[in-house]
Structure 1
Amino acid sequence: MKVSIITVVYNGADHIRDCIESIVNQTHPDIEYIIVDGKSTDGTVEIVQSYGTKVARFVSEPDKGLYDAMNKGIRMATGEVIGLLNADDFYRHNRVIENMVATFERTGSDGVYGDMLYVDRDDTRKLKRYWRSGWYTDNAFKWGWMPGHLSFFAKRWMYEQYGLFRTDMKSAADYELLLRFIHKNKAKLAYMDEVTIVMRDGGVSNSSLFNRLRANRDDQLAWKHNDLKPYFFTIWLKPLRKLKQYVSKPPGWSDK
């Protein structure tokens, strides 16, 4: 099974080597690695080019933001399965893709997802959040559930049939796409009960009241755009479910 992995980057020279190494050292033999760069000026381009043919497709040009760049990479992808991994992040071990492919083949699913860790940006031994997605059940989105976006691998045909990221959804574009694929169009899912992605902390934060209200507004728009109706409490359950992520740890984790 051919897998396309897409990394979007802009001025990511500090960490992109970790990201690239975690992909080119995967044990799965058929990976198409695509990097979409937003015309970086900090040495990112030179780092990517140093990997030669290990990067199957590389484009460096201005874009209209994160999700526009992701869409650009998805359009270039030729793999049966598509995954996304941002430049600050990396796979937890070198069998993630192998295990994911085995899960697809065993279950006949349309999408496979796992768990994620958020770690300190400078010291990746320091855990910030543990996103254990858990098993999906019908109507789970109405109860505030969603899988970690970057842990989600989808068959390419879903993007072709159901569409790409909505670039007008801002930070809720990933939520809207997952809602559309999973809740609206009933994608058959399989859960990998393991941590697959390690993410450096420091992305768009919803910690302030203003950001949380704006995120809730965008989440509501995601339901509206798909002609769906959540429960009256759905939008507030989503951030509340995240509270546990700040106090729980994966089995065997140590900050030392």
Structure 2
Amino acid sequence: MKVSIITVVYNGAAFIRDCIESILNQTYSDIEYIIVDGQSTDGTVEIVQSYGTKVARFISEPDKGLYDAMNKGIGLATGEVIGLLNADDFYRHNRVIENMVATFKRTDSDAVYGDMLYVDRTNPKILKRYWRSGWYGENAFLWGWMPGHLSFFAKRWLYEQYGTFRLDMKSAADYELLLRFIHKNKAKLAYMDEVTIVMRAGGISNSSLQNRLRANREDKLAWKLNGLTPYFFTFWLKPLRKLKQYVSKPPEALDK
């Protein structure tokens, strides 16, 4: 099973090596690694180019933002499975892809997801937040559930049949896509009960109250665009679910 991993980056020289190495060090060998750069000016391009053919596809050109760059990468992907890993982030260990592929084969699922850690931007030993996605139940989106987007690996046919990221969404484009794939179109899911992704804190959707309020408005729009009707409390439960992530601790140590 060929797996395409896509990294999008713009001026990410500070952390891009950690991201690349976490992919190149995976025990699973059939990986197509694609990097989409927004025409960086800080040395990112030179860092990526130093890896030569270890990066299967590399483009550096202006884009319309994060989700446009992701869509470009998805368009280039030839793997049966597609995963996304941002330039600031890295895989939790070197068996993530191996375990993910085994989960696909064991469950015959359309998509596989796991858990995520948010850590301090400069010191990844400092835990900020633990996103335990948990097992999916039918209609879980109505109760404020969603999996961590970067822990989500999808069969390529899902993107081909149901579309990629909407560029008219800003911070909630990932939520809208997951809502479309899972809740609306009933993609068959399998859960990897382990931490797969480590993210450096500072994401677009949760870096300020203003962005959180905008994300909430876009969450509502996501349901409307898909012709779906949420419960009146759905949009209250989604941010409330996140509160537990700031006090929960992962079962394994960060330095394992």
Cross-structure match for 2:166: 166
How far has the Cα of 1:146 moved from its partner?
A: 0.1
How far has the Cα of 1:3 moved from its partner?
A: 0.1
Structure 1: 5+ residue stretches without partners: none
How far has the Cα of 1:202 moved from its partner?
A: 1.2
Aligned residue for 1:171, secondary structure, equals: coil
Cross-structure match for 1:238: 238
Matched, 1:43 2:21: no
Cross-structure match for 1:32: 32
C-alpha separation in 2, matches of 1:210 and 1:144:
20
Cross-structure match for 2:72: 72
Matched letter for residue 187 of structure 1: A
Cross-structure match for 1:250: 250
The answer (yes or no) to whether the contact 2:205–2:215 under 8 Å persists in 1 is: no
Change (3 A) 1:207 1:17: closer
Structure 2: 5+ residue stretches without partners: none
How far has the Cα of 1:207 moved from its partner?
A: 5.9
Cross-structure match for 1:128: 128
C-alpha separation in 2, matches of 1:42 and 1:208:
26
The answer (yes or no) to whether the contact 2:82–2:156 under 8 Å persists in 1 is: yes
Cross-structure match for 1:206: 206
Matched letter for residue 87 of structure 2: A
Cα deviation 1:50-79 (Å, max 9, x = unaligned): 101100000000000000000000000000
How far has the Cα of 1:253 moved from its partner?
A: 2.5
Aligned residue for 1:83, secondary structure, equals: strand
Matched letter for residue 88 of structure 1: D
Aligned residue for 2:123, secondary structure, equals: coil
C-alpha separation in 2, matches of 1:79 and 1:255:
32
How far has the Cα of 1:29 moved from its partner?
A: 1.2
Aligned residue for 2:58, secondary structure, equals: strand
The answer (yes or no) to whether the contact 2:119–2:127 under 8 Å persists in 1 is: yes
The answer (yes or no) to whether the contact 1:127–1:255 under 8 Å persists in 2 is: no
Aligned residue for 2:191, secondary structure, equals: strand
C-alpha separation in 1, matches of 2:177 and 2:233:
21
Cross-structure match for 2:98: 98
The answer (yes or no) to whether the contact 1:6–1:73 under 8 Å persists in 2 is: yes
RMSD of aligned alpha carbons: 1.2
The answer (yes or no) to whether the contact 1:126–1:255 under 8 Å persists in 2 is: no
Matched letter for residue 82 of structure 2: I
Cα deviation 1:94-140 (Å, max 9, x = unaligned): 00000000000000000000000000000000000000000000000
Matched letter for residue 132 of structure 1: R
How far has the Cα of 1:208 moved from its partner?
A: 4.3
How far has the Cα of 1:160 moved from its partner?
A: 0.1
How far has the Cα of 1:210 moved from its partner?
A: 2.9
Runs of 4+ in 1 over 6 A off after TM superposition: none
Aligned residue for 1:70, secondary structure, equals: helix
The answer (yes or no) to whether the contact 1:114–1:192 under 8 Å persists in 2 is: yes
